[in-house]
Amino acid sequence: MSVQHVPLGRLRTPFYERMVKLDTLNTWHEWKGYSTPDALYCAETEYFAIRNATAVFDLSPMTKYRITGPDSLAYLNRLVTRDMAKVKPGRVAYAVWCDDLGQVLDDGTIFHLREGEYRLCSQERHYDWLITSAIGFDVTVTEETADIAGLAVQGPTSYSVLSAMGLDGLGELKVFGLMHFDFEGTELMVSRTGFTGDLGYELWITADKAEALWDALFAAGQIFGIRAIGVHALEMSRVEAGYLAAYQDFLPAKATVRNGRTRSPLELGLEWLVDFKKPNFNGRRALAEEKRRGSTWRLVKLDIEGNKAAHHSYIYEKSKNNRKEIGFITSAVWSPICKQNIAIGTVKMPHGAPGSTVWVEIYYQREMHWNRAMAKAIVVDKPFWFPPRRSATPPGPY
Partner 1 sequence: MTDKYDAIVVGGGHNGLVCSALLAKSGKSVLVLEANDQVGGAAITREFTDGYSVSACAHLLYQLQPSVRKDLKLKPQLVADDMTTIALDEDGKHIRLSGNSVTGVSDDDASSYRAFHKRMTRFAGLLNTYFNKAPPRLGPMDLSNLVLLGRLGLSVRLLGKKEMREFLRLIFMNIHDELVERFESPLLKGAVSLDAVLGTHLGPRSPNSILTYLYRLAGDCGRVALPAGGMGTVSDELAQVARSAGVTIRTGMPVKRIVIDNGRVAGVETESGERFDSMTVVSNADPKRTLLDLVGAQHIEARFTHRISNIRMRGNAAKLHLALDGLPTIAGLTQDDFAERLVIAPDEHYVERAFNPAKYGQSSPEPIVEMTFPSCRDASLAPSGKHVMSAIVQYAPYALKGGWTDAARREFEAATIRVIERYAPDIAKRITASELLTPADIESEFHITGGHWHHGELTMDQLMFVRPVSGAAQYRMPVDGLYLCGAGAHPGGGVSGAAGRNAARAILGREKAA
Partner 2 sequence: MKTYDAIIIGAGHNGLTTAAFLAKAGLDVVCLEKNEYIGGATVSREMYKGWLYSSCSYVCSLLRPEIYRALELHKHGLQVTPFGGSCQFMENGDYFGSYHDPEEAYREMARFSRRDADAYERYSADTMRQCRLVRDNLLRTAPDPTSFKPKDLMGLAELGLKFMDMGEDAMYETIRFWTMSVAEYLDQYFETDVIKTTKSGSGIIGTALGVYSPGTAYVLLHHYMGDVDGNVGTWGVARGGMGAIADSIAGALQTYGGELRAKAGVEKIIVKNGRATGVALESGEEISARLVVSAIDVKQTFLDRMDKSDLPEDFYNRVVNFKIRGSSGKVNIALDGMPTFPAIPKGSTLYHGDMHFIDSMERMERAFDDWKAGTWSKDPYIDMLIPTLTDPTMAPPGKHFMSCFVQYCPYQIDGRAWTEPEREAFGQTVIDQIANYSPDFKSLILHYEVRTPEDIENQIGITEGNIFHGELTMDQLLFNRPVPGYAQYRSPVSGLYMCGSSTHPGGGVMSAPGANAAREILADLRRTNTVPENFGDD
Please, where are the H alpha helices in 139-230?
158-164, 210-221
Instruction: Report in angstroms how near the CB of residue 245 gets to partner 2 at its nearest.
Output: 17
293 lies in the binding site for partner 1 (CB under 8 A)? no
Q: Does 255 bind partner 2 (CB under 8 A)?
A: yes
Q: Nearer Cβ to partner 2, position 9 or 279?
A: 9
Task: Examine residue 135 and tell whether it contacts partner 2 (CB under 8 A).
Answer: no
Query: Largest Cα–Cα distance in the chain?
Result: 72
Q: For residue 8, state whether it binds partner 2 (rule: CB under 8 A).
A: yes
Residue of 251, 240, 229 whose CA lies nearest to 36: 229
Instruction: Measure the CA–CA gap between 96 and 81, rounded to whole angstroms.
Output: 6
Closest distance of CB 115 from partner 1, Å: 20
Nearest alpha-carbon partner for 318 in 269, 376, 242: 376
DSSP secondary structure letters along 232-255: HHHHHHHHHHT---BTTTB--GGG
Total of chain residues touching partner 1, rule CB under 8 A: 19
Q: Name which of 26 and 259 has its Cβ closer to partner 2.
A: 259
Pick the closer one to partner 2 by CB: 101 or 179.
101
Q: How far apart are CA 387 and CA 398, in angstroms?
A: 13
CB environment 322-354: b (16+ within 10 A), e (fewer): eeeebbbbbbbbbbebeebbbbbbbbbeebbee
| Per-residue binding letters, 92-131, with partner 1 (x by CB under 8 A) | -------xx----------------------------x--
Cβ distance to partner 1 smaller for residue 282 or 341: 282
- As measured in angstroms, the least distance from the Cβ of 371 to partner 2 is 29
Which residues contact residue 59 at a Cβ distance below 8 angstroms, ignoring those fewer than 6 apart? 150, 151, 152, 202
Residue 279 as a binder of partner 1 (CB under 8 A): the answer is yes
**Looking only at residues 191 through 220 of this chain, which bind partner 1 when binding is defined by CB under 8 A?**
none
Considering only the stretches 72-80, 264-272, 293-301, 376-384, report the one whose residues sit in contact with partner 1 under the rule CB under 8 A. Answer: 72-80
Nearer to partner 2, 125 or 311 (CB): 125
Residues that bind partner 2 (CB under 8 A): 1, 3-11, 30, 32-33, 100-101, 125-129, 131, 143, 254-260
